[in-house]
Amino acid sequence: MARSLTAALLGSAALAFAASAAWAAEPPAKDAVSKADRALHERVLTLDTHLDTPEHFARRGWSMIDRHSVAEDGTQVDWPRMNAGGLDGGFFVIYTGQGELSAEGYRKARDFALNRATEIREMVAAHSDKFELAYAPADAERINKASKKFVFQSIENSWPMGEDLTLMQTFYGAGVRMAGPVHFRNNQFADSSTDKPIWHGFSPLGLRWLAEANRLGIIIDVSHASDDVVDQAVALSKVPIIASHSGAKAVYDHPRNLDDGRLKKIADAGGVICINSVYLKNTAASPERLAALKALGPAPDSETGTEAEIVAYAKKIAAVNVKYPPVRATFEDFMASLLHTLKVVGPQHVGIGADWDGGGGVVDFEDIADLPKVTARLKAAGYTDADVAAIWSGNVLRVMQQVQDYAAKAKTPPAG
């Protein structure tokens, strides 16, 4: 989840899609993908480590089975486009936007996150011929062989766990296999990369969160965490860690991106950096654009608003986009971040987590239907078929296996 400035202005994080609706007014020119590259893309197991699509599962009139388009409703992932783009599965995110660090705030966040987990289960249950929940690397392979899409679950922002670490077992029980401690703002567990440090890394409770993640077999995800948190996670985790949707600071200097030293640090510890399609260049809006967006007033709520209201609002944003076009990164920028990271850490430590439905998508890389272009570019850059397979899933599943093997052996008593 990486909320655009526009979405923040709209006052409804869940409506990030509306902001992007008009950006696809003209279909982008497509990179040609050769038959051989397309065949390779189909052959390898592919996953994305950060799919924010669960935000749409409860939208009235919206179905994961229908083909949608960025132009119409701003969404980037559904079953037909998973097939079009050759995406076999991924980590579907239980994201909770940071709020109050109080008993009441924790309670609301907990209920919100548990409800989101339920919505993921409901989507899978409603389409059990097309999707299946996955809990371990072997599940991904098996589900793929059965011609279904595998659905891992991850948590973005552990705020919903409050100060009760037994909730980690609850979420593990619900199937969560990866979790990040923090989002845009500091919380009870850790400092955010986009906030002023208060803990200078993990809090004391956050250190127990980390140990409990190791004990349960939940992959630690450091995307959004401060540099100190990244360093401490690498040093203290008993198993490799992941950055589920991050990028190279050498390509664009932003607090959400990782410098070469930290890319290497994560890789040296066996971890994987999955490349984001956000924070690739300075896309700050002009004052005129900001004022025009603000003048639109609040966006309709994605769950209580009608589809007509949401579409009408997206059209208003489209008009603003025509008058004051947003500055956007391109597929070239995404590839620059991916290829730079590959150069720094090698093909055994890179994955793909483009933040689809969470603010991701760039010019010429608007939704998951464009994924085969990445495979073509990797081949053009000289990477082998085995490298491509490792980048698309092998590396992440390797870490997942290590994390789960450790938990199976650890058998330590649960945290109180």
Which spans of this chain sit near Zn ion (rule: CB under 5 A)?
A: 1-2
Rounded least distance, CB 3 to Zn ion, Å: 8
| Closest CB to Zn ion among residues 1, 218 | 1
| Closest CB to Zn ion among residues 2, 241 | 2
Compute the distance between CA of residue 142 and CA of residue 120 in angstroms, rounded to an integer.
20
Rounded least distance, CB 157 to Zn ion, Å: 9
Rounded least distance, CB 86 to Zn ion, Å: 24
Rounded least distance, CB 305 to Zn ion, Å: 24
| Closest CB to Zn ion among residues 10, 33 | 10
| Closest CB to Zn ion among residues 50, 316 | 50
Which residues, at least 6 apart from 28, have a Cβ–Cβ distance to it below 8 Å? 363, 364, 365, 366
| Closest CB to Zn ion among residues 1, 242 | 1
- The residue number with the shortest CB distance to Zn ion is 1
User: Which of 173, 188, 232 lies closest to 96 in space, CA to CA?
Assistant: 188
Rounded least distance, CB 224 to Zn ion, Å: 6
Rounded least distance, CB 1 to Zn ion, Å: 4
Rounded least distance, CB 282 to Zn ion, Å: 18
Rounded least distance, CB 221 to Zn ion, Å: 10
| Closest CB to Zn ion among residues 2, 344 | 2
| Closest CB to Zn ion among residues 243, 403 | 243
Rounded least distance, CB 50 to Zn ion, Å: 7
| Closest CB to Zn ion among residues 73, 156 | 156
| Closest CB to Zn ion among residues 8, 211 | 8
